[in-house]
Amino acid sequence: MFGKLSTRLLNICVCTFCKANRLEKAEAIIIDGIRLGVLPDVVTYNMLIDAYCQFVSFDAGYTILNRMREAGISPDVVTYNSLIAGATRNSLLSCSLDLLDEMLEMGIPPDVWSYNSLMHCLFQLGKPDEANRVFQDMICGDLTPCTATFNIMLNGLCKNRYTDNALRMFRGLQKHGFVPELVTYNILIKGLCKAGRLRTARWILKELGDSGHAPNAITYTTIMKCCFRNRKYKLGLEILSAMKRKGYTFDGFGYCTVIAAFVKIGRLKEATDYMEQMVTDGVQLDIVSYNTLINLYCKEGKLEAAYLLLDEMEKQGFECDKYTHTILIDGLCKAGNIKGARLHLEYMNKIGFDSNLEAYNCIVDRLGKDGKIDHAINVFESMEVKDSFTYSSMVHNLCKAKRLPSASKLLLSCLKSGVRILKSAQKAVVDGLRHSGCRREAKKIQSKIRMAKISH
């Protein structure tokens, strides 16, 4: 009896540290517990798995599975669900499916959450149809969807640009007596904000108020970010004040939103002010806040300060992620150190980052802007993966370098294959052709642009 109670206490402590990404603390407490005769149970290991998957890597989480087996504890359905969720976060779909097989082999029947995680994974990988099929399977089978299932559906639909379907599903569920949770409202508000449908978002916000739920930090942050995106800075900052009054700025979310927004539009002084406020408020910095601040220093051209902060970050036990690397590479580019940027990119490859598209995009764009168009073309051609950003930037810079034939050729091939090109880049090609006397060519491109608009 006493032993059971102690393990529950242990789990409460481990949970707190895991959620705060203090894994070494969590591990230390487990060791202390064992020394006092309080043994970790399946819940303890499940929490560790979730935390390692979230803050370190999927593999690190998976290693815990072996550790718990060695300790004589059998994994349960939550163990596998956490691992599936962990694989999901790392976009490892086949891994999620393998885990599902593995649990079946082990005689652990999947539950609602296994399917929830799988659905979530499919939505994240941009496969809404397959996610929907899992949902249908679930309804047809013995499993009853829970509120989280609906939240995952709504979120997935929104993230895959099916905002209308999400809204319709929400209304349908309400008709069937489904009582939305605060999370549900937050998901819908986020989706609507992202789709630029502010009026509907505000309407849902009003419904949230009428429902008896109080908006939380997540609701505020979402709305605030939406304000900034729509250049309503004053309103956004008012929301930040409201958050502060309610005591919701204990973490970096609100501050990072504000700082990043100001950095983006070049209002660095204000960004710095909010950075200082964040520090004064004693906000525990995590990887995202560090990234935000490093980005601020890079944009100010204070590379030294950026690298000092990077050191501090690593001393705190955080590892650079994709964002950190991209921010630094862009910082190096902006400072004119293309060679350093390329070296950093090589380093990224070496330490096993599978996707560094954003970093490549930074380099290509910066080379073009600096007038090194041939160099930019070289890097562009060496890229295995490209996106609309890459092409837009390249089209822009080719125009700038007066390489109009190449620019129009690239634009045309994008129009043909349905790659979205920034309007301003399209305009640059048409204007460029006109100014250099190729009016017929310009007309031709224009009509192709119009045709593409109709067919896509």
Q: Give burial (CB, 10 Å; 0-12/13-18/19+) of 455.
A: exposed
Q: How far apart are CA 394 and CA 369, in angstroms?
A: 10
288 lies in the binding site for DNA (CB under 7 A): yes
46 lies in the binding site for DNA (CB under 7 A): yes
81 lies in the binding site for DNA (CB under 7 A): yes
251 lies in the binding site for DNA (CB under 7 A): yes
Choice from 90, 388, 406, 446 touching DNA (CB under 7 A) = 388
Taking CB under 7 A as the binding criterion, the range among 97-105, 178-186, 233-241, 407-415 that sits at the site for DNA is 178-186
Choice from 305, 358, 375, 446 touching DNA (CB under 7 A) = 358
Nearer to DNA, 254 or 441 (CB): 254
The tally of CA atoms less than 13 A away on the side-chain side of residue 228 is 23
Identify the sign of the CA torsion 347, 348, 349, 352.
positive
Structure tokens at 206: 């009003």
Q: What SS3 class is residue 274?
A: helix
Choice from 29, 341, 345, 365 touching DNA (CB under 7 A) = 365
Choice from 30, 166, 205, 225 touching DNA (CB under 7 A) = 225
Choice from 96, 160, 163, 361 touching DNA (CB under 7 A) = 361
Q: Give the Cα-Cα-Cα angle 342, 344, 346 (nearest 5 degrees).
A: 70
Nearer to DNA, 387 or 438 (CB): 387
User: Which amino acid is residue 443, in one-letter code?
Assistant: K
306 lies in the binding site for DNA (CB under 7 A): no
For residue 43, count other CB atoms closer than 10 A to its CB.
18
Q: What is 105-128 written as a DSSP string?
A: HTT----HHHHHHHHHHHHHTT-H
Measured between alpha carbons, how far is residue 77 from residues 86, 107, 162, 300 in Å?
14, 10, 31, 49
Nearer to DNA, 313 or 441 (CB): 313
Choice from 29, 73, 362, 373 touching DNA (CB under 7 A) = 362
For residue 363, count other CB atoms closer than 10 A to its CB.
24
For residue 221, count other CB atoms closer than 10 A to its CB.
24
Measured between alpha carbons, how far is residue 392 from residues 219, 265, 323, 365, 395 in Å?
34, 20, 21, 9, 5
Give me the least distance between CB of 165 and DNA, in Å please: 17
Q: What SS3 class is residue 350?
A: helix
Number of chain positions touching DNA (CB under 7 A): 70
Taking CB under 7 A as the binding criterion, the range among 31-39, 128-136, 359-367, 408-416 that sits at the site for DNA is 359-367
Please, which of residues 18-37 interact with DNA by CB under 7 A?
none
Choice from 197, 202, 244, 322 touching DNA (CB under 7 A) = 322
Give me the least distance between CB of 13 and DNA, in Å please: 12
Q: What SS3 class is residue 436?
A: coil
Give me the least distance between CB of 55 and DNA, in Å please: 10
Phi and psi based region of residue 197 (left: phi greater than 0; alpha: psi -120 to 50; beta: remaining): beta
120 lies in the binding site for DNA (CB under 7 A): yes
Choice from 7, 88, 132, 160 touching DNA (CB under 7 A) = 88
Choice from 281, 300, 321, 370 touching DNA (CB under 7 A) = 321
295 lies in the binding site for DNA (CB under 7 A): yes
**Sites of contact with DNA (CB under 7 A):** 15, 43, 46-47, 50, 78-79, 81-82, 85, 88, 113, 116-117, 120, 147-148, 151-152, 155, 181-183, 186-187, 190, 216-218, 221-222, 225, 248, 251-254, 256-257, 260, 263-264, 286-289, 291-292, 295, 299, 321-323, 326-327, 330, 357-359, 361-362, 365, 387-389, 392-393, 396, 421-422
